[in-house]
Amino acid sequence: MTALHDLTALEQGAAVAARVVSPAELVEHYLERVQRLDAELGAFVTVTAERARQRAFAPLGPGPLAGVPTAVKDLNTTAGVRTTFGSAVYADNVPDVDDEVVARIRAGGLISLGKTNTPEFGSPCYTENDVAPPAVTPWDTSRMAGGSSGGAAAAVAGGLVAVAQGSDGGGSIRIPASCCGLVGLKPTRGRISGSPTYGEITGLATAGPLARNVRDAAALLDVMAGRAVGDPFWAPESRHPFLLHCEADPGPLRIARFAEPVIADTEVDGECLAAWADASKLLEQLGHEIVDIAVPMPRDAVPFFETCWAVLTGLSTVTLDDDARGKLRPLTRWLGEKGEQVSGPEFGLALGELRRVAARTLETLAPYDVVLTPTLASPPLPVGALRDDEDPAADFEAQKRFTPWTSMWNVTGSPAISLPLHETARGLPVGVMLAAAPGREDLLLALAAQVEEAAPWEDRTPPCW
């Protein structure tokens, strides 16, 4: 018998529109699952059950996801709802404004059940903080959900919400998508507004969707996409809804591939290489040309990325007093102090060099339509495997070895998507990553939908399902 959470987000929206099911029924169904399952999954920091129930009886509008339960990452400000940024420093913080992403999700008629778990200030690629239990993959709750959108991924993969928003500055949507067996899309730089705070000054990070299938991800992208008045930069508007591109034939494409790590010397797990090789064969069977290429981004770009990453953390710590600094996690304190010590000219030079590296990389890739790599260097690791409170520098290096491809596309500003095409013999999910030129989510989604149709994964569900 089909349960409500077996339906895709779009199917749920259609059922609400046809009055086959009510938003209130969906909310109660998912709240029961949150109450029963979240203690083990660590998906939520804050559950807003009563607000969700009230919202379920309010006018929601005509959108394809209207009435569908979702959740908001705890890095996004939500008016009247606790927003911790994954930090004990902000454990009692209640903003008085919704940011633009939250406002658009609300305008799209989705119903938030609360705030999803994230590491402190969204910095690490694992979700382990001091305000909530670790976020774990529902496929094996001893293993990490990834980060920094680990709570969002655990919620979607565990059937606690139908679809969820994440954010990605170095892989933070695609990493948990791979760990949790989901579709995770990092859009083009400027595709989704950072209003009203505009706190991400490097251009590395953006919001994006996490979903069980490509069409749900495209539908949530449609909800979030678009510029706000005052945005410093933005992607060109799409002529058609991104969901419509999922029905398009991408045509025969020229797809570059490589599996050599970009940002760190590391051994790549055989399961990740098998996923990448199998995806290559599938793409060839679908009529695409696969071309092996060398790594298109130079390793000497890494220090400039790290400077910018440290500055972003430093912006979160520089105004804190000694008492607040004492509440920070060791990695945050170490990285924030590094960022605070970067001079203005040094930061400007690093950001300028990243722009030049991005331009050269995109020039190198211009002959190709899409690029294929593994998403991660390993299946999901045990909780705590990367974290090293005694040696934050070693922690940071371990994160780089786990995620040696994802940040490249944050540097170029390109859209990139992780697809759950593979699972290990133990049943752990393994993603593969496709990326396209900036502004080409249309092509990326058309190809991803074609791949999903050829090798569907939606019937694979974790033990808690």
Catalytic residues: 73, 148, 172
Positive or negative, the CA dihedral 72, 73, 76, 79 is positive
Structure tokens at 119: 């590491």
Q: At what angle do helices 441-454 and 214-224 cross, to 10 degrees?
A: 160
The torsion of the CA quartet 116, 117, 123, 124, rounded to 10 degrees, works out to -130
C-alpha distances out from residue 111 to 43, 266, 405, 461, Å: 17, 42, 34, 23
Q: CB–CB of 451/402 below 8 Å? A: no
C-alpha distances out from residue 211 to 53, 420, 457, 465, Å: 23, 11, 12, 15
* Unique residue bearing structure tokens 């398009």: 248
Structure tokens at 382: 């045990």
Cα separation, 356 vs 362, whole angstroms: 10
